[in-house]
Amino acid sequence: MFQVGKRYEIRMIIDGEETMSWATIERYEHPLLKFADANVRSLESHLPDTTLHGEIINVTSPNFISAVLSQPLMQEQISRENAAARNSVPKES
Longest dimension (CA), the chain: 49
Q: What is the per-residue pLDDT for 49?
A: 85
Within a domain: 41: yes
Within a domain: 25: yes
List of the chain residues with pLDDT < 50: none
- State the Cα–Cα distance between residues 75 and 80, nearest whole angstrom: 9
Q: DSSP H helical segments within the chain, as ranges? A: 72-88
Residue 28 to residues 15, 58, 63, 65, Cα–Cα distance (Å):
24, 10, 18, 17
Q: Which structural domain, as residue segments, surrounds residue 13?
A: 7-88
Q: What is the per-residue pLDDT for 30?
A: 94
Q: What is the per-residue pLDDT for 92?
A: 56
Within a domain: 58: yes
Within a domain: 93: no
Exposure on the CB side of residue 17, measured as CA atoms within 13 A: 4
Q: How many domains does the chain have?
A: 1
